A and B are shown apart, each in its own frame.
Chain A
Amino acid sequence: MRQFVQQLVNGTVLGATYGLIALGYTMVYGIIQLINFAHGEIFMVGAFGGLTVYRYWLPEAWADKVWVALPAVLVGAIAVSVGTAVLMERLAYRPLRNAPRLAPLITAIGVSIFLQEAVRLFYPDGKRQQSFPQLISSGTFEVAGVTVAWVSVFVVVVALALMVALQVFVKTTRTGKAMRATSQDPESAKLMGIDVDRVIVITFVLGAALAAVAGVMQGMRFAQIDFRIGFLVGLKAFTAAVLGGIGNLKGAVLGGFLLGIVEALATQYVPQGSSWKDVWAFVVLIAVLVIRPGGLLGERVAVRA
């Protein structure tokens, strides 16, 4: 039982990262039906942005003051991720807005490779793993025999807070309403006076900001990052989004946590589980899609003109 709870904790922490990134996939898909395969790389450049601020811009006197260093690193990460995402949307996706759907998809894969290689080639010593500052102590505490790291608490709390904030934003604000309208029917939204281009940019910005936070979290948890961290995590987050029902915000969060927990439990309870955990993650995905093709909470398909 204790082992079960321990693995639930491990899975929840892992799932929080998946969920945050999955939100970016699902929002972009909800608005323009694009599977933005470069989103994992937005997560990666975010982590590098945070590292850059810490390593090169933060005065040494402040480097170990977590209340200064952490916000600075987060701001740096978000700035880089958002900047990259806006450029990506403007240069790579917007010109292809009315092209056949395959064109932007392939472009997304190209952007993904481009960003990976750019970091590898141009970041100082970018070919190597970079050690990432552990801003929050790596200490742990025990609850009924279950070991929890403080950084894990931070990861889950921040992730949940951001997920709730996003939900409130989309449900209550004027911009959120515009996003929902665009998602339902871009043509009619335009006729109602909604600036669709602006809404799309905002969608990319929100997704990128969440991915940047996830990037910093991953860096702090593992104390290292490299130019390829975005690929596998991006793939898993995409899976999480599909699992929950792509286009559905709550679905992305649910899918993220579910995927993380399945991986942790498979490691514990399936023989050779630690190397087969990805297989089990996809087995769950296929099983869900067979029973509910739209994902757990249902896909939100926009009615296109």
Chain B
Amino acid sequence: MPESARRHWRRSAVVLLPLLLAAACGGGDEEETGGGASGQATKVVKIGVIAPLSGDLTATGTGIRNSVDLAIRQANEKNKVPGWRIELAAEDDAAKPDVGAAAASKLSSDAAVVGVVGTYNSSVALQVAPLLERANIVQISPANTNDTLTRGQNPATPDRAYKNYFRTATLDSLQGGFAADYASNEIKAKTVAIIHDKKAYGQGLADSFRGRFEKNGGKVVATETINPGDKDFSAVLSKIKPLNPELIFYGGEYPEASLISNQAKGPQAMRVPLMGGDGIVDPTYGKTAGTASNGDFGTSVGAPPESLDSAKQFIADYKAAGFRDSYSAYGALAYDAANAIINTLPTALGSATAVDDSVRRKVVEAVGKVDFGGASGKVAFDQYGDTVTKTLTMYKVESAEFKPVKTGEFKA
């Protein structure tokens, strides 16, 4: 082979190698989708999922995807929607609003999609909900807690933002308030330092915590913001330390929260517990923060799944289905969200031969009226699309695991 040809070949090999590898790995993420093909049913209706299936929040997103998958498999097995086979259409939003918007566009252009379970992040939902609304696709989030998604910008005059949007999770204003009450009444904390990540969820939660905590007579000694993705929080913690807060409240998610907890107690030698919202209540938190996380607190929506009889069946079924990953903090809520959509299908689809706009409209309307006992408790929505179940639970970390310490409702 002449020198020039050989070099040319070599050069193309360098370029082609990554491409080939990428092609070979493509589709590796797609696990079994919407299994349980039931007999002759040939008409296909799809339920989408938009959740983080890559990146830091994969653990939670995978739990949501799998729980929806479980609801769909069960519906197909029991032939809940006669004549139709339900399929799962899971899309990754990587916890990023723009990726979520692309996923929403993709799902709305799929004629067979009637509903979407997701998103995990409130910031992503703010992009996804309007796109799905335009296509009349119902969206039920198992995890969004930002108030504006259902009640609009002004809390004084709530105005429903998206007519297709519902959620099985409770609001930040309730969760932040619940956390503040626990901090004031149970921990007896007088001073607190607040850190949040400036995302719709983190900031919303931090603001509602602050409001209630100050109303309870507590004092917020510092409010700091950090960037999602940061690893080194020593500077911000050193700044807070001399102010001697009795508690650090963090508005954000577990990747940063676990680092903050670990660095506060390790390198900074602060003997202060960290408290957060449902964004930090994930098994990964204890694993990565290690023993430093013991004594930390996190609120989450609903009663602990392990304590509810209705959830025990879900947990048993989930385990029997053989998923590799945990159902995570939102599994039961995602499962209920999927069932809320599935329950409306027999009537909404009626004698239709394919999913069309009128079917989608019927589903949106019917979801607003569902009322059934789900894995997480009663599933029904108010006039804004919020769940009527306002139960919240405070968890405390023991041996690097979140254990429920108090379940109740927040009273404003």
Which residues of A come within 8 Å of B, CB atoms? 2-3, 6-7, 10-11, 13-14, 91-92, 95-96, 107, 110, 114, 117-118, 120-121, 127-129, 131, 134, 138, 140, 142, 147, 149, 151-152, 218, 221-224, 226, 228-229, 232-233, 263-265, 267-268, 272, 274-275, 277-278
Contacts and interface: CB of A to CB of B under 8 A. Distances in A.
B290 A95 contact: no
A264 B288 contact: no
Best-surrounded residue of A92, A226, A267 (most CB of chain B within 10 A): A267
Contact of B238 (A10, A114, A221, A278): A10
Contacts of B290: 131, 134, 223
Given A95-B10, A110-B18, A114-B18, A229 B267 contact: no
**For the complex, would chain B's binding face be called helix, strand, loop or mixed by DSSP majority?**
helix
B207 interface: no
Nearest to B10: A95
A278 B56 contact: no
Interface stretch (B33-41, B145-153, B183-191, B226-234): B226-234
Given A121-B25, A224-B288, A14 B11 contact: no
10 contacts: A7-B235, A138-B292, A223-B262, A232-B229, A264-B238, A267-B235, A267-B239, A274-B225, A275-B225, A278-B227
Given A14-B234, A264-B235, A267-B239, A149 B288 contact: no
Nearest to A90: B14
Contact of B239 (A3, A117, A118, A151): A3
Contacts of A128: 58-59, 284
Contacts of B238: 3, 6-7, 10, 147, 264, 268
Interface in B245-266: 255, 258-259, 262-263, 266
Contacts of A11: 235
Given A138-B266, A152-B267, A268-B235, A275 B198 contact: yes
Interface in B262-276: 262-263, 266-269
B15 to A, nearest CB: 9
B268 A147 contact: yes
A127 B266 contact: no
A274 B238 CA distance: 11
Contacts, number: 122
Interface in B1-24: 7, 10-11, 14, 17-18, 21-22
A188 B202 CA distance: 59
Nearest to A134: B290
A95 B11 contact: yes
Main SS of chain A's interface residues?
A: helix
Given A127-B55, A218-B231, A138 B22 contact: no
A278 B236 CA distance: 13
B267 A151 contact: yes
Contact of B234 (A13, A121, A265): A13
A151 B232 CA distance: 14
Nearest to B263: A222
Interface in B209-251: 224-227, 229, 231-236, 238-239, 241-242
B66 to A, nearest CB: 14
B287 A274 contact: no
Contacts of B17: 91
Contacts of A264: 234-235, 238
Contacts of B232: 10, 14, 221-222
Nearest to B223: A272
Contacts of B287: 131
B277 to A, nearest CB: 19
A274 B235 contact: yes
Interface in B134-159: none
A151 B59 CA distance: 29
Contact of A275 (B56, B227, B231, B258): B227
Given A110-B18, A140-B269, A129 B288 contact: yes
Contacts of A278: 227
Given A7-B238, A228-B229, 7 more contacts: A13-B234, A120-B54, A127-B58, A147-B269, A149-B266, A222-B232, A274-B233
Contact of A140 (B229, B242, B267): B267
A150 B232 CA distance: 16
Contacts of A95: 7, 10-11, 14
A142 B238 CA distance: 13
Nearest to B195: A274
A10 B288 contact: no
A229 B231 contact: yes
B10 A224 contact: no
A284 B194 CA distance: 28
B71 to A, nearest CB: 24
A233 B232 CA distance: 11
Contacts of A7: 235, 238-239
B198 A129 contact: no
Nearest to A110: B18
B322 interface: no
A127 B25 CA distance: 14
Going nearest first, the 10 A-B pairs with the smallest beta carbon separation are A138-B266, A149-B267, A267-B235, A275-B225, A264-B235, A274-B236, A10-B234, A224-B288, A140-B269, A127-B58
